[in-house]
Amino acid sequence: MAQMNNQRRADLVIIGGGPAGMAAAVAAYEKGLRDILILERDDALGGILRQCIHNGFGLHRFGEELTGPEYAARYEKQVKEYGIPFMLNTMVIDVDESKVVTAMNRECGIFKIEAKAIILAMGCRERPKGALNIAGSRPAGIYTAGTAQKFVNMKGLMPGREVLILGSGDIGLIMARRMTLEGAKVKAVCELMPYSGGLARNIEQCLNDFGIPLYLSHTVVEIHGKERLTGVTIAKVDEMRRPIPETREFISCDTLLLSCGLIPENELTKSAGISLDRITGGAVVDGERECEIPGIFACGNVLHVHDLVDYVSEEAVIAGEAAVKYINGEKSHGMALNLVTDGKIRYTVPQRITSAEKTKVYFRVANVYRDVKIVVKDGERVILEKKKQKVAPGEMETVILTADMLSACETNATISFSLEEVRK
Amino acid sequence: MANERKLTCIVCPKGCDLTVEFDDAGAIKNISGYTCPRGKDYAYAECTAPVRTVTSTVRCEDGEVVAVKTATPIPKSMIFEVMAAINAVTAPNDVKIGDVIIADVCGTGANVVITANR
């Protein structure tokens, strides 16, 4: 094939064709933009939803319960009906601060695209086994929960028969059920923290339904086996998360699945020189999901890890519409509000607000707290209070700051988010 | 003392804490803790005839797998029976979302449908 033009232009380049990238593209198209290009490294659109065959997606977005592939298919259909161009099997290798995207694929080799605006929608990846520092040998049979999910749901292959799961993230819980349905014996799920990292409904329907025990404040301290995993030693941990030697217990298994957290995949963001939030691992953004570099936006799990794809789509719409505003020279930067947190609230997205438009602020808390109120202040002035019976790290919270609330703030105020006890 | 059962609602990711109270005869007396009508219905069903949607994959003629679900929930007690039925069928290669691959699986009244395009 002849060398294609290796210097291209596009108004909007979207990196990633998962739920965030597709929803951003559709939103930008619906705001009148036509020159859009989605770049996707996999061989189909859909991202991680393709392997998430369980149901529970779309209750907020579509008012019905869909599986992952069904949810993805709705957006894919929209992208195709609108005729939004996308390139598959295409890996982006660089983004620079002047908004030149360097990508490559088999047909075109390496090529550059000059973009007016870029949306980063690369998603996240799982914390790998190497990052966990577990003692013992390195036999076969140890996978991240997402890898096992791809094997079972997309390749039709079972990674093993007797399974222990470390980490109670949602993918680990979903895989506990999935492996059980396919005939494996899931011995237990061990969670280092004293609370689960996954949604309450997944503990119920993925573990309790099948009598799979969840050991809180437990971790894997040793891996056994030479060629293939033969078992693990687990132990209870103290409040400092140190294993208690007297509680060591051997559990035989041929498979260890790791569901120990997700990390936004921001190599390209870093290469563009955009600084990341230490807590979220994603870019620092304003209310319209614009990064420090004007015209570069981020949305979905690349920005912060979401519990629900519905919220990813919602955020992607914000980014998609804002990118169109930016391209049309209509994006305002009238304010520079800084959002700060008290530690009980770990982070907020956005971290900055640059226009006095209604803004939904997403955040996560550091621990399980009961009977609390979320307090938002401008200096000493309370802007908003919201009572909550219970908040937990595994469940993302939101508050809405109205245009009126924001207009009442100084243009460069610091807005604090804190969690206070409610006296009964 | 009234008998009660605590449940976590699984209808949506909110996961409300539900309490179902029973009278001495074991009949449901009161349901509380729900924040939407679906939560109340879930609590009622969970204490009388619990149901679940089953999602899985079926093998296609070319050896690849494709995702499926029960289009409506099936009795919780029949999950493994339904799984056996799902694992016993082979799908054509050109299936699309919504295609029925097993009608009225195991007499539950639920169809098993394809949930991914190939």
The pair of three-digit structure tokens given for residue A49, joined into one six-digit string: 């939803």
pLDDT of amino acid A6: 58
**Distance separating alpha carbons of residues A282 and A293, to the nearest angstrom:** 14
AA letter at A22: M
A320 & A354 share domain: no
* Count of beta carbons in the 10 Å neighbourhood of residue A412: 9
AA letter at A132: L
Confidence of residue A2 (pLDDT cuts 50, 70, 90): very low
B window 75-114, beta carbon within 8 A of A: 76, 79-80, 83, 97
A326 & A352 share domain: no
The distance of A209 to chain B (nearest Cα, Å) reads 8
A152 Cβ under 8 Å from any chain B Cβ: yes
Nearest to A53 among B9, B55, B117 (CB): B55
A154 & A102 share domain: no
The distance of B102 to chain A (nearest Cα, Å) reads 18
Q: Which of B8, B36, B81 to mutate to test the interface with A (most CBs of A within 10 A)?
A: B8
B59 Cβ under 8 Å from any chain A Cβ: yes
By C-alpha distance, the chain B residue nearest A209 is B76
A294 & A374 share domain: no
Nearest to B10 among A201, A307, A308 (CB): A201
The pair of three-digit structure tokens given for residue A156, joined into one six-digit string: 């039709």
Nearest to A199 among B13, B56, B116 (CB): B13
Q: Which of A260, A279, A305 finishes a domain?
A: A260
Q: Which of A331, A360, A375 finishes a domain?
A: A331
A388 Cβ under 8 Å from any chain B Cβ: no
A56 & A105 share domain: yes
Taking CB atoms and an 8 Å limit, are A69 and B59 in contact across chains?
no
pLDDT of amino acid A332: 79
Of the candidates A28, A146, A72, which has an alpha carbon nearest to the alpha carbon of residue A312? A72
A410 Cβ under 8 Å from any chain B Cβ: no
Nearest to A307 among B13, B17, B79 (CB): B13
Burial of residue A238, with CB atoms counted within 10 A of its CB: 0-12 exposed, 13-18 middle, 19 or more buried: exposed
Mean pLDDT throughout B102-112?
97
SS3 A239: coil
Nearest to A156 among B10, B59, B97 (CB): B59
Taking CB atoms and an 8 Å limit, are B13 and A395 in contact across chains?
yes
A289 & A268 share domain: yes
pTM of the model: 0.93
Q: Which of A260, A290, A314 finishes a domain?
A: A260
A36 & A80 share domain: yes
Residues spanned by the domain of A303: 1-126+261-331
A113 & A152 share domain: no
Of the candidates B37, B48, B49, which has an alpha carbon nearest to the alpha carbon of residue B9? B37
Neighbouring-strand partners of residue B44: none
AA letter at A270: K
> Looking at residue A106, which CATH number applies to its domain?
3.50.50.60
pLDDT of amino acid A424: 66
Higher pLDDT, A333 or A166: A166
**Stretch (H or E) spanning B84:** helix B79-87
Of the candidates B66, B68, B64, which has an alpha carbon nearest to the alpha carbon of residue B56? B68
Mean pLDDT throughout A319-340?
93
Taking CB atoms and an 8 Å limit, are A182 and B9 in contact across chains?
no
Residues A212-260: pLDDT tens digits? 999 999 999 999 999 999 999 999 999 999 999 999 999 999 999 999 9
A399 & A295 share domain: no
The pair of three-digit structure tokens given for residue A361, joined into one six-digit string: 């602020």
Taking CB atoms and an 8 Å limit, are B8 and A69 in contact across chains?
no
A145 & A82 share domain: no
A233 & A211 share domain: yes
pLDDT of amino acid B25: 87
Taking CB atoms and an 8 Å limit, are B97 and A199 in contact across chains?
no
Residues A91-127: pLDDT tens digits? 999 999 999 999 999 999 999 999 999 999 999 999 9
Taking CB atoms and an 8 Å limit, are A67 and B15 in contact across chains?
no
* Count of beta carbons in the 10 Å neighbourhood of residue A381: 10
pLDDT of amino acid A5: 56
Taking CB atoms and an 8 Å limit, are A73 and B97 in contact across chains?
yes
A371 Cβ under 8 Å from any chain B Cβ: no
Taking CB atoms and an 8 Å limit, are A181 and B57 in contact across chains?
no
A156 Cβ under 8 Å from any chain B Cβ: yes
Mean pLDDT throughout B78-93?
97
Neighbouring-strand partners of residue B51: B75
- How far is residue A161 from each of residues A177, A180, A328, measured CA to CA in Å? 13, 9, 56
The distance of B108 to chain A (nearest Cα, Å) reads 18
Confidence of residue B15 (pLDDT cuts 50, 70, 90): confident
A151 & A187 share domain: yes
Q: Which of A62, A149, A154 to mutate to test the interface with B (most CBs of B within 10 A)?
A: A154
Provide the mean pLDDT of chain A: 94
The pair of three-digit structure tokens given for residue A304, joined into one six-digit string: 């912060």
- The total domain count for chain A is 3
